[in-house]
Chains A and B, each alone.
Chain A
Amino acid sequence: METITTDDVKHVATLARLDFNEEDIQQFTHQLARILDYIGKLNELDTTDVPPTAHPLPLRNVVKADVAKASYSRDVVLEGAPSAEEGYFEVPKVIE
């Protein structure tokens, strides 16, 4: 498996909505390369015919009855918001 580059790290940071300075990018590239190198040992195993496990236990889809129920009041929900106005979450400008 190829090793991770600083450009990969910058791309992934954008995907993850994280901002890093040049020094952080260098450090993360180095650390992630080392971790990925360790993880590379999985390639020693032939897993061609092995089914993937997403969950440790057999799970089936659980559906709830489609019944309207009371939820939290608007005030309670907005109480933790960094910024709220007139019953809405307030956010910075989205479009020009």
Chain B
Amino acid sequence: MPLYELTTHELHEKLKAREITAVELTQAMYDRIGAVEGQIKGYLTLTEDIALEGAAAADTGFQRGDEMPPLAGIPIAIKDVICTKGVLTTCGSEILGNFVSPYDATVMAKLHQQGTVMLGKTNMDEFAMGSSTENSAYQTTRNPWNLETIPGGSSGGSAAVVAAGEAICSLGSDTGGSIRQPAALCGVVGMKPTYGRISRFGLVAFASSLDQIGPFSKDVTDCALLLNAICGHDPMDSTSADLPVPDFTRSLINDLKGVKVGIPKEYFTAGIDPDVEESVRSAIEVLQESRAIIEEVSLPHTDYAMATYYIIAPAEASSNLARYDGIRYGFRAKDADELSDMYKKTRSQGFGEEVKRRIMLGTYALSSGYYDAYYLKAQKVRTLIKSDFDKAFETVDVVVTPTSPTAAFKIGERTADPLQMYLSDVLTTPASLAGLPGISIPCGLTQADLPIGLQILAAPFEEEKILQVAYTFEQNTDHHRKRPNLSPI
């Protein structure tokens, strides 16, 4: 099996046994990128020189026989919303087209400590606003399973490069589903940990009460290893949780005896594709065969989550994106004659259509006379959505649902109608509003051979329960071993 097909934990064994070197592995990854990236278009920036330097440093450690961390020498891709010192961080936007961060995000510092090798920065919907990666100012990433379809979004590049073997694992960010939905659509594992579990320092802000960084990988073991590396309190992020971080690999237990799995009836409604529903129903049977106790639960305010999300996220975004003023960094429009004109021209030329739409929506929702009707109302409904989950988690350990109502859709299919695009996230936004951890793992293919994702949610800081359920499912099925049939050009 070619190296790019392997997982982090498999490669770690090979590196440790010195069957391969990190430099060979890195070169193999760039060979693979050379062969398929023309079709996938998942990367915005490749950092080969830095990667080979990092790989050589990891090799020195392995050759010396040092105790090397699990991610040492492992090639990873990073969503272009995470600040990387000395390397472009564009957020998929023209307005940050030339932006080079003077510092590393905390997650990057943590990955560097492990000796992880960054291959490059991945494509995304501009400022993480979108569900298909079609809102990137630069390129449209293709789903490796079918090049006519979207990879999901907003972390579409990070999901696609892992699915295509162009990275062993990657990092993305999830505000309303931007890790879980593309993971489902690309047939990989993607996890959004609890809000506050991972530092947001150096994550370019979209909606600060929702944004969370998380990993993409080929299996649940890799997911646990990545979480071990990047979770933890950070004094640089005042919203990061000052709680001990468990060793997540201890949750990789292939048994669900006594584990209560809740199935919310509101997640199996009219809009679900029959293939998706069937796969998820059979996944639930697999959990039951592994001794889980299956119970129906009710999350009665599910249907209000999208409306709530599309007030809160744009409101926070309109405030966060006020910083792009053409003064301190990024793009500045050239033809302005005075300051306020410069602001307007810079922002109008620098932001794409969807970003402007959300700034407008958010500014409207926060503007005088509308605040109570929209923003305050949405915050109150957010409380109701959160209490639904609180109640459910009094009786069950995890909640299991489809990640996305449908598999990957065609490029261009939903771009004309923003509301239809927004509804792609209908099953992921409720957990985001409640700050819950959630994973998407592969659970089957549609008749058209497109991946289907199983979403597993738990109460805040109960990632371990999610990992146990996900791991058990994976050990008793082979969906995670399926790979897209990509031919190099």
Interface of A (DSSP majority class):
loop
Judge whether B28 is part of the interface by a CB distance below 8 angstroms: no
Least distance between A64 CB and chain B CB atoms (Å): 7
Given contacts A1-B373, A16-B363, A72-B102, contact A82 B195 (CB under 8 A): no
Judge whether A87 is part of the interface by a CB distance below 8 angstroms: no
Which residues does chain B contribute within 8 Å of A70, judged by CB atoms?
A: none
Given contacts A32-B361, A52-B376, A57-B460, contact A92 B419 (CB under 8 A): no
Least distance between B306 CB and chain A CB atoms (Å): 8
Least distance between B266 CB and chain A CB atoms (Å): 14
| Residues B195 and A57 in contact, CB atoms below 8 Å apart | yes
| Residues A82 and B331 in contact, CB atoms below 8 Å apart | yes
| Residues B382 and A80 in contact, CB atoms below 8 Å apart | no
Q: Give the residue of B98, B339, B381 whose beta carbon is less than 8 angstroms from that of A42.
A: B381
Q: Give the residue of A19, A81, A92 whose beta carbon is less than 8 angstroms from that of B337.
A: A92
Which residues does chain A contribute within 8 Å of B326, judged by CB atoms?
A: 82
Q: Give the residue of B239, B367, B460 whose beta carbon is less than 8 angstroms from that of A12.
A: B367
Interface string of A50-63 (1 = CB under 8 A from B): 11111111010010
Which residues does chain B contribute within 8 Å of A83, judged by CB atoms?
A: 332
Closest A residue to B99 by beta carbon equals A80
| Residues A93 and B377 in contact, CB atoms below 8 Å apart | no
- Chain B residues in the interface with A (C-beta under 8 A): 98-100, 102-103, 194-196, 209-210, 235, 238-239, 241, 301, 303-304, 306-308, 310-311, 318, 322, 325-332, 336-345, 347-348, 351, 356-357, 359-361, 363-364, 367, 373-374, 376-384, 386, 418-419, 422, 433-436, 460
Q: List 7 A-B contacts (CB under 8 A).
A: A8-B364, A19-B345, A50-B380, A77-B102, A79-B100, A91-B339, A92-B336
Q: Can you add 19 more A-B contacts, CB < 8 Å, to A16-B318, A42-B377? A: A12-B364, A13-B360, A35-B418, A38-B307, A39-B378, A42-B378, A45-B381, A50-B383, A52-B383, A56-B195, A56-B210, A56-B382, A56-B436, A56-B460, A57-B196, A57-B241, A80-B98, A81-B327, A93-B338
